[in-house]
Each structure stands twice: as C-alpha cells, then as structure tokens.
Amino acid sequence: MTAPGMRAMCHRMLLCFALGLPGAVGLLGAVSLPGCGPRQDAPEVKTIAMLRLTDVDLETVKAFKAEMAQLGYAQGEQVRYVEVPPAQTPDKLEGLIRELLTHKPDVILVSSTPAMLSIKRMLGQIPAAIVFAPVNDPLASGIVADLKHPGGQITGVKLPHVDELRLAWLGQVVPSAHRIFLPYTASDKSAIASVERSRDAAHQLGLDLVEYPMLADEDASLAIAAIPADVHAMLIPPESHVESLFPQLLQAAQDRHLPVIAPGEMLVKRGATFSYGASKQDMGRRAAKMIDEILKGIPPGDLPVQTAESRLTINLVAANKIKLKIPDEALQQADMIIRE
C-alpha cells in the first residue's frame, strides 16, 4: 500500500489552503486599513468674476480677496478671479457682463446698484450665483424681494441706512455745526432716498440742511459756487456721482474751513473730516463668507441679504487743517483715527 502517496496529495491540498487562505484573509484585512480607500479627486478650481461700475469699491474687492485667502481659497488653486476694468458708465456694463460670462464663472461679485441692475436684466443668460457688495437698497431697487430670503441666485451685502446716525455723529464730532451743505444727484434714486432720510434726521436734531441737487453729468463747479457762506459743514451723500467729485468739493470745503462728512472711510482717508458708514473691508469680508457658503453648496437664495457694518472714522489731520477741535468723547468712540 502506498499511503505516503495519498498523504502527499493531501499535503499538497493543505499547502494550498495554508498559503492561499491567509493571503486572501490578509488582503481582506489590508484593504480594510485606513488609507487604502480610493483617493478623493482634487477640488475643482472655482471661477469668480467681478463686475464694478467705478473704482469706488476697489477696497471692497481687496478685502474680499484677502478674506477668501483667509478662508482657504488660494488664488490659482482653489479659485481664480476674472476681473475687467470698471465700466465707469452704465451703458458699458452689458458688454462687460458678456465678456465675463465667456469665462463661465461660478460666482459673479457685483458692486454698485447700476451694475447689479444690469445683471438683473440679463439674469436669464447667467447660470452663475450673483453676490452684490454693496447695493444701497436692494429692496427699493427691485434687486431682491425679500431681504431675509432673497431666493433665486442672488444675495449680497447692502449698505446700512445710517444717514440719520451720520448727522447724529456730526453733533458729537462737530457740536457747533448746525447748517450743512448737501449736494446730491437729483436723478439718483438712492441719493434721493438718502437725502430724504438726512432731511428727517436733521429735522429731529434741529439741524438745517442746505440741499443742492445736481445733474448726473454735472461737474463740481456749480455746486461749489452754490455753497452758502454761512454753512458749518458739507455732507457727502453715499452716491457715486458726488463721490467722484469729492476732490473738488473737498478742496472747496477746506478753502472755507468746513468739515466734510463722508459716507465712508475711504473718503476720510482722502481728506474728509469724518465718516460714519459702511466699511468696505467689512463688505469685502462679508461677501467672501457668503461666496464661501455658496461654494460649499448653500443656494444663494437661502442666504439673507446682510447689512454692512458701520464704522466711525475721524481724520485728525483734516480736522487740524481747518483748525477744528474734535471732542475727546467722540475720539473715544471712533473705530479709526487718522493722525498723520
């Protein structure tokens, strides 16, 4: 009998199990270990287009990019920006929008009400999410119907209505000022709305507003010529046309030793005495966070329209130029003081 032969055959079978099974079981265990799963695909580079009417919001854009970088969106890696020069005039906006759309943006960051209205008109051709930063009054301009739940593909940051508080701050910063010169563009709805709020506040505060309506393409000369001799301050409304005439108006005010009240800190940096209004940095940061949420999957229409933070900025250099003494209590409440 050749029992060894049979035993050898059995041994061969056992060897197969001895080698094969642990190998298979080991392979099973190996694939179960962390790190053995499939790699996740690299994130897609998102495209953000930017549309501006003027250079007024340049600071907002800078703050926006900085905040995006803080949120982890490295330019060229997670995000790329498509920018075109400011339209300067509303009639050029549509062409710029078409140019931006050729880059198939995921989000369009829009600044100014006219730019946003142009976007709104072309919304059927735009698949991207729209974030405005800022728009003065999105409800009044018809850009959104509900601030809490704008719906659709639009949301953004609106400017705070602080015209009243700005006049109230005038009482603290320049307590002696009672008669204020206010130039504004008569055809700008948001400017008119701002003037109306200032008018009501002045009435409550016992101030006297000297209003000077301007044409949309009017230069500063007539407005400067119209500055009464007995006014104590000049109030710059939050509108792009008057702001574009700021250097001439500022020069005229300084010539008359008039403090200039600006809607934003950018003009304070350029020579206005003080401002109480929306912070462009804050608007940029807010816009960045909203776009971050959108890129993470939240529909734009679910994001309520936010209101930009207001800041009190005082330019002591400008005050000194006109020999204006600003009370310490006011300085203590300022968010930023420009001393040199």
Least distance (Å) from other proteins to the CB of residue 337? 12
As given in the structure block, the two tokens for residue 115 are 């730019």
CB 132 within 8 A of CB 107: no
Q: How far is the CB of 53 from other proteins (least distance, A)?
A: 25
The nearer residue to other proteins, 89 or 204, going by C-beta atoms, is 204
Q: Which two tokens stand for residue 339?
A: 């001393």
Sign (positive/negative) of CA torsion 250, 254, 170, 187?
Answer: negative
Q: Which CB, 275 or 307, lies closer to other proteins?
A: 307
State the minimum distance, in angstroms, from the CB of residue 267 to other proteins. 19
Cβ atoms < 10 Å from Cβ of 335? 14
The span from the CA of 317 to the CA of 324, in Å, is 10
- Give the integer Cα–Cα distance in Å for 149 and 242: 32
Find the DSSP H helices in 58-136: 58-70, 93-101, 113-121
> Nearest distance from residue 235's CB to other proteins, in Å?
15
Interface residues toward other proteins, by CB under 8 A: 1-6, 8-9, 12-13, 16-17, 20-21, 24-25, 27-29, 31-32, 34, 36-38, 71, 147-149, 164-165, 168, 201, 204-205, 289, 293, 296-298, 301-307, 309-312, 329, 332-333, 335
| Least distance to other proteins, CB of residue 35, Å | 10
Cβ distance to other proteins smaller for residue 12 or 339: 12
How far apart are the C-alpha atoms of 31 and 45, rounded to whole Å?
A: 31
Q: What is the dihedral of CA 152, 158, 164, 168, to 10 degrees?
A: 150
**Among residues 18 and 122, whose Cβ is nearest to other proteins?**
18
> In terms of CB distance, is 5 or 85 closer to other proteins?
5
Q: Name which of 86 and 300 has its Cβ closer to other proteins.
A: 300
Minimum CB separation of residue 24 from other proteins in Å reads 4
CB 213 within 8 A of CB 195: no
Closest CB to other proteins among 28 and 225?
28
* Rounded least distance, CB 292 to other proteins, Å: 8
Q: Using CA atoms, how far apart are residues 234 and 276, in angstroms rounded to an integer? A: 14
Nearer to other proteins, 90 or 304 (CB): 304
Rounded least distance, CB 187 to other proteins, Å:
27
Residue 209: helix, strand or coil by DSSP?
A: strand
| Cα–Cα–Cα angle for 13, 19, 25, rounded to 5 degrees | 120
Structural Rg of the chain based on CA atoms: 31
Tokens of 236: 């710059």
Q: How far apart are CA 221 and CA 229, in angstroms?
A: 16
Provide the token pair at 144. 């959104």
Q: Do β-strands 306-307 and 260-262 pair in parallel, antiparallel, or remain unpaired?
A: unpaired
